[in-house]
Amino acid sequence: MERGSDGDRVDVAVVGAGFGGMYMSHRARSLGLAVRAFDVADDVGGTWYWNRYPGARCDVESLEYSYSFDEALQREWRWTERYAAQPEILAYARHVAERFDLRRDIRLRTRVTGARWDEAAREWVVETDPGEPLRARFLVLASGPLSSTNLPGFPGLAAFEGRTFHTGRWPHEPVSFAGRRVAVIGTGSSAVQMVPVVAREAAALTVFQRTAAYCVPARNGPIDPAYEATVRADYAGFRARNREQLAGFGSTLPPPEPSALTATEDERRRAFDARWALGGFAFGRTFRDLGTDPRANELAAQYIRDRIAETVADPATARRLMPTHAILCKRLCVDSGYYETFNRPNVRLVSLHEQPIERFEAHGLVAGGEPMRFDDVVFATGFDAMTGSALKIDPVGRDGLRLSQAWREGPVNCLGLGVAGFPNLFTLVGPGSPSALTNVIVQIEQHVDWVARCIDWMRASGHATIEPTAAAQAAWVEHVNTAMAPTVFSRCDSWYVGANVPGKPRVIMALYGFPAYARRCEETAAAGYTGYEVG
Ligand code: FAD
Ligand code: NAP
């Protein structure tokens, strides 16, 4: 493979300049390849560029939610809080872009509108707006697991004359809610972070809830200097231990107890209390069987319902806030005063089961027959997750096969990295991999390293194309479905299974268990890419 020119042909084209696209660009360049990345955004950062809503922050600890690939970077960058806020993560992304001189290969404000495999030339033709088509030997979709927003089609929305916002497309100018009547629709992680902050500013805040969320306290604060020093004393070892965790993070958390069912009531309470006091995701891994045994799961769920009952003064509001689905089947929300917010006199909770939204009107909406006036409506309604951004590009592979056709009944691929019929196409943090059930930066680094090694191997062995065989792909899809069917993640209507977007095929899209997955990828590569066809 020749080093590409800087004209209309490169070795590697990358869609996205979030953490995935940036690291992919860096790795490709370090192999001596010509790379071009595109992002429709004005700047790098991906998720952390778009999601600027009040209260937006990470819920994986800062010392873990960061790149590990460069020792000097991880030693020199200093985080201020246990969980970094969005501006700090965006500043980090920008720092990485400058530090590794990534911007020269990134075209911002440029949308990839399509991509077509040219069989004769054995390269991808990537369409961009604005811009001329670019030819590339490899195409990497780093377009994000949670970057395609979901805005439900509420009747009459166009008639609403107030301001509207989506958490995932937040304005760059400061937004003031002072003195305003605000509606927030949705109660997932984004809303849970935003609601306490908006409630402190708005004249009145109404939260519209379809499914109540399980929230655990973040207990955010400045980074503990003693803890930070311990991590920094052996950062590489810390990263390696985290990669051996099922979700790729949390090696310093207390290990899970064996079973919520065999523990005595006292032991159980002590274990839950200890994790609740620690804050964050520790709670979700109090016992090993929370994700696999519905009775154990219910004990954890009831623990949180009890905390809601203790916290929320109005019994009817408390009852509405109590989730009834299995805990962990939707992402656990990490909050800073969410339940407490409903004790404020300016905050009201509306259950959409009791009062469905009938229509929007010029000055508000009507729910359950009740007209409500709003100045601002915030949609915290999430994303067309995992597949949305790739399907908007809808690459056309061999013999005119579109990705949307290949994925008509749900996404299929091999190792979550390649799709049969789409030579030299790689997807990062997509379906069929641990993706969103991990510390995503750990997943990104593993995916990018695998893709870079594969491209390097092809160059060394003189191959021009690679793609999974249909048989290997079918076996992988079967493996993911079989592994995930008994887990809690498959059990309710979440974005993990595509149920949040009407009409989307219901398929579990993430595979829990990062270490086993990473080993499987490693074995495949070490064995010369078994299950892949090379040409
Ligand atoms: P993204 O950051 O989504 O970047 C993809 C980029 O591709 C975007 O900038 C987008 O504009 C661009 N793009 C997409 N399609 C096109 C196109 N056709 N043309 C041009 N550009 C395109 N993960 C965690 O592990 N821990 C957390 O605490 C956490 N918190 C999160 C909080 C929020 C609010 C959200 C939404 C997600 C969070 N995530 C978290 C998941 C987060 O998405 C990942 O951690 C990570 O940032 C994903 O990086 P990425 O580069 O793969 O994708
Ligand atoms: P989300 O978890 O999908 O939540 C969307 C909310 O909108 C849900 O309450 C959903 O209700 C509701 N909703 C969707 N469509 C609706 C409709 N038609 N009518 C009424 N309500 C509707 O989205 P998100 O909160 O943006 O979070 C998405 C993911 O991003 C998270 O799971 C997480 O992975 C990541 N994230 C992380 C953090 C963090 O703490 N670091 C913060 C934000 C986001 P149902 O549950 O009933 O569908």
Name which residue sits closest to atom 33 of ligand 2, judged by CA: 189
Three-state secondary structure call for residue 259: coil
The predicted-structure confidence for 345-361, as pLDDT tens digits, reads as follows 999 999 999 999 999 99
- The alpha carbon of 33 is separated from its chain's Cα centroid by a whole number of angstroms, namely 28
Among the bound ligands, the one closest to the CA of 47: 1
Instruction: Tell me, in angstroms, the distance from the centre of ligand 1 to residue 266's CA.
Output: 41
Helices marked H in 205-314 = 225-233, 235-243, 265-278, 294-311
What residues flank ligand 2, with Cβ below 6 Å? 58-59, 146, 152, 167, 185-191, 193, 210-211, 331, 334, 352, 380-383, 436, 495, 500
pLDDT over 60 (residue 4): no
Name which residue sits closest to atom 23 of ligand 2, judged by CA: 382
Closest CA to 421 of 156, 157, 119: 119
- The alpha carbon of 535 is separated from its chain's Cα centroid by a whole number of angstroms, namely 34
Q: What residues have CB less than 8 Å from 131, skipping those under 6 apart?
A: 107, 110
Instruction: Tell me, in angstroms, the distance from the centre of ligand 2 to residue 213's CA.
Output: 9
The predicted-structure confidence for 58-80, as pLDDT tens digits, reads as follows 999 999 999 999 999 999 999 99
Q: What residues have CB less than 8 Å from 371, skipping those under 6 apart?
A: 361, 364, 365
Q: What residues have CB less than 8 Å from 266, skipping those under 6 apart?
A: none
CB of 389 sitting under 6 A from ligand 1:
yes
Rounded to the nearest integer, the mean pLDDT of the chain is: 97
Q: Quick one: average pLDDT of 107-119? A: 98
Name which residue sits closest to atom 16 of ligand 2, judged by CA: 381
Phi and psi, residue 452, nearest 5°:
-65, -40
CB of 44 sitting under 6 A from ligand 1:
no
CA distance linking residue 412 with residue 476, whole number of Å:
8
CA distance linking residue 65 with residue 44, whole number of Å:
17
Check if the beta carbon of residue 72 is closer than 8 Å to that of residue 96.
no
Three-state secondary structure call for residue 131: coil
Annotate 316-336 with b (16+ C-beta within 10 A) or e (fewer). Answer: ebbebbbbebbbbbbbbbbbb
pLDDT over 80 (residue 5): no
Output DSSP code: residue 256: P
Closest CA to 175 of 194, 157, 188: 194
Closest CA to 138 of 533, 472, 467, 473: 467
Pocket test for ligand 1, best of 38, 47, 446, 496 (most atoms within 8 A of CB): 47
β-partners of residue 123 are 118
Instruction: Tell me, in angstroms, the distance from the centre of ligand 1 to residue 400's CA.
Output: 29
Name which residue sits closest to atom 31 of ligand 1, judged by CA: 58
Question: Tell me, what's the pLDDT at 516?
Answer: 98
The predicted-structure confidence for 192-250, as pLDDT tens digits, reads as follows 999 999 999 999 999 999 999 999 999 999 999 999 999 999 999 999 999 999 999 99
DSSP line for 163-192:
EEEEGGG--SS----BT-EEEEE--SHHHH
Q: Quick one: average pLDDT of 446-453? A: 98
CA distance linking residue 491 with residue 508, whole number of Å:
9
Instruction: Tell me, in angstroms, the distance from the centre of ligand 1 to residue 145's CA.
Output: 6
Q: Quick one: average pLDDT of 130-159? A: 97
CB atoms within 10 A of CB 375: 18
Instruction: Tell me, in angstroms, the distance from the centre of ligand 1 to residue 147's CA.
Output: 5
pLDDT band at 190 (very low <50, low <70, confident <90, very high): very high
DSSP line for 396-462:
B-GGG-BHHHHTTTS---BTTTB-TT-TTEEESS-TTBSGGGS-HHHHHHHHHHHHHHHHHHHHHHT
CB of 427 sitting under 6 A from ligand 1:
no
Instruction: Tell me, in angstroms, the distance from the centre of ligand 1 to residue 30's CA.
Output: 23
pLDDT band at 1 (very low <50, low <70, confident <90, very high): very low
The predicted-structure confidence for 310-346, as pLDDT tens digits, reads as follows 999 999 999 999 999 999 999 999 999 999 999 999 9
CA distance linking residue 22 with residue 46, whole number of Å:
10
- The alpha carbon of 305 is separated from its chain's Cα centroid by a whole number of angstroms, namely 26
CA distance linking residue 311 with residue 300, whole number of Å:
17
CA gyration radius, the chain: 23
CA distance linking residue 282 with residue 321, whole number of Å:
22
Instruction: Tell me, in angstroms, the distance from the centre of ligand 2 to residue 331's CA.
Output: 9
Check if the beta carbon of residue 399 is closer than 8 Å to that of residue 210.
no
CA distance linking residue 163 with residue 146, whole number of Å:
24
